Structure 1
Amino acid sequence: MKRPSSVEVEVIELPRAYQAVASSISRKVMSGEWAVGASLPGEWALAEAFGVTRSTVREAIRVLEQEGLLVRPRGTKQLIVNAPTGVHVSSRMTAAIILQQVTFLELWETMMAIEPAAAEAAARHATPNQLASLEENQRLTAKALRNPSKLLELDLAFMNGIAEASGNRALVLCRSAISDLLYRAFLPVLRRAPAGERLFVAHQHILAALKERDPEKARRWMERHCVDFRRGYERAGLDINLPVPRLERTA
């Protein structure tokens, strides 16, 4: 029988030991076998169970701590299964968005799908404390109209507050990285004279709709706010088809 002179195949890349351990622990957590709040065995016990070295287990734990699946309570060495927060989700999504060079337009289109839905849900579910927090945000915003950096911080807090008031945790997690990158790219717009006033007025109408428990009005004003957001970006001479700015370098 004649054999082929050459064989074209793809090289099989096997995961490193620490990656295999991290994946195994992650599967146990995601399946519910190891529930949130449960204590994990010590590093030596895990190393023996997986048949690897303690240093391999430590590297796997480091990865899972970064992902938010494991935490160590302050002052202890005990590992606890944890439910990742928006911070953990946001950091990974932020890296993907920046490195894949996602454009402002793509983020804005996502914003148009998420923010009006958040406002509509918030009109139904916002608690008195959440509404009071948004009112306090507006009070501070009125004092910061000539301070673009502070205004940006308050705008992001206002929009995050509406998302929280929606009562939809999936929505909050999905928008965490998107909103942070998108709104921070808006700083050059807020340096233009009328931008702060327009933002303040839009927030006033959105907040009024939430207090009136009017979902349609809340959605409508949030849609207007998002459209105005894009117009301001374009009027500032910024190209919506360019990738969102990278994060500032730290010293």
Structure 2
Amino acid sequence: MPLGSLRPSPLVEQATQHLREQITQGEWPVGTRLPGENALAKTLGVGRSTVREALRALAGAGLVQARQGSGVFVIATEVAEDWPARLRRAAITDVYEVRMMVETQAARMAAQRRTEEDVAALEEALAARAGAAAEDDAAFVDADIALHAAVVAAAGNPVLTDLFAEFAPALREGLIGLVEVLGLRSRDRNPGHDAHAELVAAVRDGDGDAAGAILQAELEQTLAHLHNA
């Protein structure tokens, strides 16, 4: 299938789409070295900068890889599934098991690294969680996740913070369903308040072992509910 000339705008998106189709339809099999930027630019009727951006987008999709001094090579013919999509597809119990590992270590780090601003944010998030007890399940779950996010943020590692942010949408959906199905707030509108207060206190006091243990126990309890739901 010839590439053909492109319409004037949006050039990068069009160039990316044309090149993606060439790859996914097998015109350039895995291992093939793509034509150089000049050749692609001439064929597509665009500038080299547009081709460069299109190749960068294809690399981000996991289709091509630039090799220093050798060129750009096809490494896959199917677009790699992004992380948020994989999380949406995953079982909530699988997501929760990974969350437990990440957050438990984050709590220990938070106790070692927290600043006065972090402690203030944790106490504010704890109060907001208590305040959300009077609201619906979705609002309460949002407040609960915000408190956990504050603990992760206190660890001072931006990669951990970003990782938790990726988990949050899948966690929110699963937890809202769990609360509703099991009626976890039917007798106690603010379940787990004491444990969360103890967690905040442990981080504030710099007790990493206690913070990790408290969070581990709390998340294990929720995971047990998920397995039995």
Shorter-chain TM range is 0.5 to 0.7
Q: Is the 8 A contact 2:125 2:150 kept in 1?
A: no
Shift, 1:171, TM fit:
2.2
Q: Is the 8 A contact 2:119 2:204 kept in 1?
A: yes
From the superposition, tell whether residues 234 and 181 of structure 1 become closer, same or farther in structure 2 (CA, over 3 Å).
Answer: same
Q: Where do residues 196-207 of structure 1 align in structure 2 (5 Å cutoff)?
A: 196-207=189-200
RMSD of aligned residue pairs (Cα, Å): 3.5
- Number of the residue aligned with 1:178: 167
Equivalent residue in structure 1 for 2:215, among 213, 222, 247: 222
- Number of the residue aligned with 2:11: none
Q: Where do residues 101-116 of structure 1 align in structure 2 (5 Å cutoff)?
A: 101-116=89-104
Paired letter, 2:164? R
- Number of the residue aligned with 2:13: none
Shift, 1:201, TM fit:
2.2
Matched, 1:190 2:196: no
Matched, 1:233 2:226: yes
Q: Is the 8 A contact 1:116 1:220 kept in 2?
A: yes
Q: Is the 8 A contact 1:189 1:195 kept in 2?
A: no
Corresponding pairs, count:
175
From the superposition, tell whether residues 64 and 140 of structure 1 become closer, same or farther in structure 2 (CA, over 3 Å).
Answer: farther
Paired letter, 2:127? R
Uncovered stretches (5+) of structure 1, i.e. residues with no partner:
1-10, 25-46, 68-90, 239-251
- Number of the residue aligned with 2:145: 156
Uncovered stretches (5+) of structure 2, i.e. residues with no partner:
1-24, 61-80
Shift, 1:120, TM fit:
0.5
Give the Cα–Cα distance (whole angstroms) in 1 for the partners of residues 55 and 169 of structure 2.
Answer: 24
Give the Cα–Cα distance (whole angstroms) in 2 for the partners of residues 145 and 173 of structure 1.
Answer: 27
Matched, 1:121 2:109: yes
From the superposition, tell whether residues 168 and 55 of structure 1 become closer, same or farther in structure 2 (CA, over 3 Å).
Answer: same
Paired letter, 1:197? N
Q: Which stretch has the larger CA shift, 165-174 or 202-211?
A: 165-174
Shift, 1:142, TM fit:
1.3
Residues 135-163 of structure 1 show CA distances to partners (whole Å, capped at 9, x for unaligned) of: 11111211211321111111121111111
Q: Is the 8 A contact 1:195 1:232 kept in 2?
A: no
Matched residues, percent identical?
18
From the superposition, tell whether residues 181 and 223 of structure 1 become closer, same or farther in structure 2 (CA, over 3 Å).
Answer: same
Paired letter, 2:92? F
Shift, 1:184, TM fit:
2.6
Give the Cα–Cα distance (whole angstroms) in 2 for the partners of residues 161 and 63 of structure 1.
Answer: 37
- Number of the residue aligned with 1:212: 205
Paired letter, 1:176? A
Shift, 1:233, TM fit:
3.0
From the superposition, tell whether residues 188 and 146 of structure 1 become closer, same or farther in structure 2 (CA, over 3 Å).
Answer: farther
Paired letter, 1:190? V
After the TM superposition, list the runs of 4 or more consecutive aligned residues in structure 1 that deviate by more than 6 angstroms: 47-50
